[in-house]
Amino acid sequence: MTQLQRDIWGLDTSELQATWFSEGEIGKAAQAGPSPPPGPVLDQPCCSSSSGSSMVRSLLRAIPPVPDKLVVRQRTPRGAWKVGTLCHGRKVSAIAVSGSTHHVYTCGTGYIRVWDESALQAWDKFPQAQLDLQHPYDCVLTCKLFPDERSLITGGKAQTLTLWDLVPTPRVRTNLASTGTMCHSLAISSDAQICLACFKGFVEIWDLQNQILIRKHEVPIYGSRCVDITGNKFWTGGEDTILYSWDLRNYQRLHQYSLQNEIVSITHDPSEEWLLVAMRNSNIMILHTHRMEKFKVIIERFNFFHNLKFASCGNYFVTTLDETIRGLAAPSLQRLFQVQESSEIFCCDVSTDNKYLVTGSKNSATVYQLLY
């Protein structure tokens, strides 16, 4: 049993319910079972004699304990305090927050607004800048900050994907001519070499360094609402309720998982070991990206908007369901905080320094400072 499994089984029943699935329930994905853990075969002794065991015990006793003050523990937030509002003026359909500069980028129809840190803890500040899109009717539906937070890529209802330089002054670097008219989701590799853009029925694979289209990869037409990338794999899902994994090197389909509900969002933890999949009925499926392991967080409440965002520290993630924000610890799934907003939440992001959580809604973005 892995540490994640132990944490799940140890959950208090007052927390969110988690259900484990056996190998037989994985369906077509169960092409190979999990490999046995390293070590001796069960029912065989580790040592051939009792003297070996005594030697191990004596060595363990000789190891000095590590003082508590020297143990570095990652903190998890215990609450979220509303500190400001960013008046975007139109629906905020995508959002990005920089941890290094604490700039917020609110995206929607016609323009992107840039907010500096002084606006985050205020209610009536003007944006630092406004970046007009190529056409006034273009709409950004998805955006991704590069790992160094010096660049941003946006996609949506437009004929192009737009690559923005953010420093020293935000400006368009280039427009990448896409073959689709509406990009639903974007994903960037951890080394910022590859970008995936998800359209209805296909995924565009871009070389960001050379700004060239590598491949237009066909995927099931109703399995192309969202996309994510982990190492040499990428993942797609959508209305057909099936999560697909693909090999980024030879573009072959690796596995498919029938989740029995529409997939609306996919994201991964910073280690790229675990994948979170949000579904229309509010449930969250958690899958291991290499082993045949998965379990489900059961919420069972139909919703229109379901967003997921993993914190950069990897020990918690944020989920938004219509008007509700929840912070959940990883991997224990303990509820850390919950906030209710007055209107539907369309998008969210957490700064990489884990200081701010920002949500986008009908006309504005709401800024929360995370409390520890």
Per mean pLDDT, which range of 7-16, 131-140, 256-265, 305-314 is the poorest?
A: 7-16
- Considering the chain, what percentage of its residues have pLDDT values greater than 90? 69
- Closest by CA to 206, choosing from 216, 191, 219, 218, is 216
Flag the least confident range among 2-16, 160-174, 353-367: 2-16
User: What is the DSSP code (8-state) at residue 109?
Assistant: B
pLDDT for position 301: 57
Q: What is the separation of C-alpha 100 from the centre of its chain, rounded to a whole number of angstroms?
A: 19
Residue 117 has pLDDT above 60, yes or no: yes
| Per-residue pLDDT tens digits for 60-80 | 455 555 554 444 457 899 999
Question: What string of DSSP letters covers 65-114?
Answer: PPPGGG-------SEEEEEEEEE-SS---EEEE-TTT--EEEE-BSEEEE
pLDDT, position 79? 96
The torsion defined by the Cα of 309, 311, 315 and 320, in degrees rounded to 10, comes to -30
Tokens of 316: 């918690």
pLDDT tens digit sequence for 148-193: 999 999 999 999 999 999 999 999 999 999 999 999 999 999 999 9
pLDDT at 4 over 50: no
Q: What is the mean pLDDT of the chain?
A: 84
For residue 35, pLDDT beyond 80: no
Peptide linkage before 36 cis (omega within 30 of 0):
no
pLDDT of 196 reads: 98
pLDDT-derived band at 280, boundaries 50, 70, 90: confident
The predicted pLDDT at position 26 comes to: 38
Residues facing 204 on adjacent strands: 197, 216
What number is the average pLDDT over the span 91-95? 98
Res 15 pLDDT > 60: no
Residue 21 has pLDDT above 70, yes or no: no
Q: How confident is the model at residue 303 (pLDDT cuts 50, 70, 90)?
A: low
Split at pLDDT 50, 70, 90, the class of 306 is confident
- Tell me the mean pLDDT in the region 307-317: 93
State how far the Cα of 315 lies from the Cα of 325, in Å rounded to an integer. Answer: 17
| pLDDT exceeds 60 at position 302 | no
Residue 38 pLDDT: 35
